[in-house]
Amino acid sequence: MDLLYRSTRNNNEIVKASQAILKGLADDGGLFVPVSVPKLDKSMEELMNMNYQETAYEVMKLFLTDFTEEELKDCINKAYDTKFDTEVIAPLVEADGAYYLELFHGSTIAFKDMALSILPHLLITSAKKNQIKNEIVILTATSGDTGKAALAGFADVKGTKIIVFYPKNGVSPIQEKQMVTQKGDNTFVVGITGNFDDAQTGVKKLFNDKELAQLMDSKGYQFSSANSINIGRLVPQVVYYVFAYAQLLKEGKLAKGEAMNVVVPTGNFGNILAAYFAKNMGVPIAKLICASNENKVLYDFFETGVYDRNREFVLTSSPSMDILISSNLERLIYLTAGCDAEKNAAFMESLSKTGKYEITEDMKANMKDFYGNYASEQETAATIKDLYEKTGYVIDTHTAVAASVYKKYKEAAKDDTKTVIASTASPFKFTRSVMNAIDAKYDSMSDFELVDELSKIGNVKVPNAIEEIRTAPVLHDTVCEKEEMKDVVMKFLGI
């Protein structure tokens, strides 16, 4: 019997895993959730002797039941290979009484690689299974990070092309360099003379352009999206929580059955939702600690039961968490409302109309395993500095938000449960903020001087992802007006 997925807004839209991956979003705008979260069918003692790839298979086979063993293993082996700079894939580092789960050893040195390195393979396998002959064209608008991670994931994957639009003057110089140096015949990077919203609006228009869709179909192409709400991104993220628990058990840091807490620096709520799924699969996880930066919508939500996006948007040093609508939270709302799609749809309508909604007391009670808090910019910087001075270990700004919130939680709850902190980016990705937090004297150095200095003081090799862009040639120099996006896409596809 296949595990089926249904929309959070309509219990009658039911699809198989491969169809959910192909569609991304349900027709009614809802997100796909499995009708029940499967239980692990291997014990932790069995899992602790498996490597990352084997663990990935044991977890993902339970969610993606319409994939054959061969198909799934093939996807896993193509994703978690030498693109990662450590064989462990997701190592744990103990520092100052917590375990940092380093999710940044992939091609773009941030945690999005954990899912975006496998999504392309899941997508083309899903296309094959559903007799889709067209080549898949991934279309993305990016404000920086997701674009590069998607490019790296899809580069040279047969049967796919990827087109990324970014605001020409709206990303950091390093982010731009990372994208325009992207290799792969099937990749295409375009700067638009506009801001991120213009790029995003333009991409949405292209997705909804029926005429273009027909023309593309006649030439053997169709669009798809690598959006973070795709179940093909969520499922691979469950793996590293299972892996982390098994590793701690193996190392004797946890006793059999002993629970751990996890702390996740949160934006779109995808990563922490994966931890919640891991818990529901049977991993002994006690608290799920949701860490926010100064955009603390989620902290307020867990405190009051009111989700309210009507507030000032704050630009912080942890930009990947600067989010006012956490799209993946919809899955938790649906699940804690007892899988009541109508109730969830009403909340989401209220969110889109008024920017807010309030959940019921029952739903709040169903979320008791979550704890939310936030860290100010100053607390985040102080945490980077303290940890470095105490231990020599350097963490990035996003991870520091989590470490800071963990400190608050530990003091407030007097809870000594062993704790895993999801470390979502390499400090080399946010070198300037990290180095400034450690010492103001670094302010005058150039970006690449800072990289070398960080390598020295942190005693870590400069990651390839950074080393490469020092010298890599620019391979993409297309710039267009926002009105020209369609022409640019057609030209690239040769239609």
The C-alpha atoms of residue 359 and residue 382 are separated, in whole angstroms, by 35
Task: Single out the segment in contact with ligand PLP by CB under 6 A; choices: 76-84, 152-160, 268-276, 435-443.
Answer: 268-276
Whether 419 and 438 have beta carbons less than 8 Å apart is answered as no
Please report whether residue 404 would count as binding ligand PLP according to CB under 6 A.
no
The C-alpha atoms of residue 230 and residue 31 are separated, in whole angstroms, by 8
Query: Applying CB under 6 A, which of residues 223, 269, 347, 371 lies at the interface with ligand PLP?
Result: 269
* Token digits of residue 375: 């860290």
The residue among 124 and 425 lying less far from ligand PLP, judged by its C-beta, is 425
The C-alpha atoms of residue 33 and residue 274 are separated, in whole angstroms, by 12
Residues between 223 and 262 with contacts to ligand PLP, criterion CB under 6 A = none
Please report whether residue 108 would count as binding ligand PLP according to CB under 6 A.
no
The residue among 111 and 240 lying less far from ligand PLP, judged by its C-beta, is 111
The residue among 104 and 357 lying less far from ligand PLP, judged by its C-beta, is 104
| Alpha carbon 419 to chain centroid, angstroms | 21
In 3-state terms, what secondary structure has residue 427? helix
Query: Applying CB under 6 A, which of residues 16, 112, 279, 407 lies at the interface with ligand PLP?
Result: 112
Query: Applying CB under 6 A, which of residues 117, 182, 187, 271 lies at the interface with ligand PLP?
Result: 271
The C-alpha atoms of residue 178 and residue 172 are separated, in whole angstroms, by 10
Query: Applying CB under 6 A, which of residues 126, 266, 292, 431 lies at the interface with ligand PLP?
Result: 266
Task: Single out the segment in contact with ligand PLP by CB under 6 A; choices: 202-210, 266-274, 296-304, 350-358.
Answer: 266-274
Distance set, CA 183 to CA 152, 227, 373, 442, 472 (Å): 8, 22, 40, 32, 10
User: Least distance in Å: CB of 145 to ligand PLP?
Assistant: 5
The residue among 141 and 425 lying less far from ligand PLP, judged by its C-beta, is 425
Whether 39 and 277 have beta carbons less than 8 Å apart is answered as no
User: Least distance in Å: CB of 266 to ligand PLP?
Assistant: 4
Whether 71 and 123 have beta carbons less than 8 Å apart is answered as no
Neighbours of 352 (CB within 10 A): 11
The residue among 263 and 451 lying less far from ligand PLP, judged by its C-beta, is 263
User: Least distance in Å: CB of 157 to ligand PLP?
Assistant: 21
Query: Applying CB under 6 A, which of residues 160, 247, 424, 455 lies at the interface with ligand PLP?
Result: 424
Amino acid at 484: E
The residue among 125 and 237 lying less far from ligand PLP, judged by its C-beta, is 237
Task: Single out the segment in contact with ligand PLP by CB under 6 A; choices: 43-51, 84-92, 109-117, 122-130.
Answer: 109-117
* Token digits of residue 357: 């909604």
Q: What is the DSSP string of 323-375?
A: -S--TTHHHHHHHHTTS-HHHHHHHHHHHHHHSEEE--HHHHHHTTTEEEEE-
Whether 399 and 82 have beta carbons less than 8 Å apart is answered as no
Residues between 46 and 105 with contacts to ligand PLP, criterion CB under 6 A = none
Among the options 112, 148, 407, 410, which is catalytic? 112
Query: Residue 461: which of 452, 470, 471, 469 has the closest Cα?
Result: 452
What is the DSSP-derived secondary structure letter of residue 184?
Answer: -
Q: Which value, to the nearest 10 degrees, does the dihedral of the CA atoms of residues 246, 115, 30, 134 take?
A: -140
* C-alpha gyration radius of the chain: 22
The residue among 30 and 265 lying less far from ligand PLP, judged by its C-beta, is 265
The residue among 120 and 270 lying less far from ligand PLP, judged by its C-beta, is 270
The C-alpha atoms of residue 192 and residue 194 are separated, in whole angstroms, by 6
Please report whether residue 212 would count as binding ligand PLP according to CB under 6 A.
no
What is the DSSP-derived secondary structure letter of residue 316?
Answer: -
Whether 125 and 67 have beta carbons less than 8 Å apart is answered as yes
User: Would you call 168 a catalytic residue per the annotation?
Assistant: no
Residues between 309 and 368 with contacts to ligand PLP, criterion CB under 6 A = 320-321
Please report whether residue 111 would count as binding ligand PLP according to CB under 6 A.
yes
Q: How many residues make contact with ligand PLP (CB under 6 A)?
A: 16
User: Least distance in Å: CB of 25 to ligand PLP?
Assistant: 16
User: Least distance in Å: CB of 495 to ligand PLP?
Assistant: 33
Residues in the chain, how many? 495
The strand pairing partners of 165, in sequence order, are 141, 190
User: Least distance in Å: CB of 432 to ligand PLP?
Assistant: 15
Task: Single out the segment in contact with ligand PLP by CB under 6 A; choices: 53-61, 106-114, 454-462, 468-476.
Answer: 106-114
Query: Applying CB under 6 A, which of residues 58, 66, 113, 145 lies at the interface with ligand PLP?
Result: 145
Query: Applying CB under 6 A, which of residues 21, 263, 367, 425 lies at the interface with ligand PLP?
Result: 425
User: Least distance in Å: CB of 45 to ligand PLP?
Assistant: 30
The residue among 224 and 433 lying less far from ligand PLP, judged by its C-beta, is 433
Query: Applying CB under 6 A, which of residues 34, 270, 372, 463 lies at the interface with ligand PLP?
Result: 270
Query: Residue 14: which of 66, 70, 68, 75 has the closest Cα?
Result: 66
The C-alpha atoms of residue 149 and residue 463 are separated, in whole angstroms, by 15
Dihedrals φ, ψ of 176, to 5°? -65, -45
User: Which ranges constitute the DSSP H helices of 65-105?
Assistant: 69-79
The residue among 33 and 485 lying less far from ligand PLP, judged by its C-beta, is 33
Please report whether residue 268 would count as binding ligand PLP according to CB under 6 A.
yes
Catalytic residues: 112
List interacting residues with ligand PLP (CB under 6 A). 110-112, 145, 265-271, 320-321, 398, 424-425
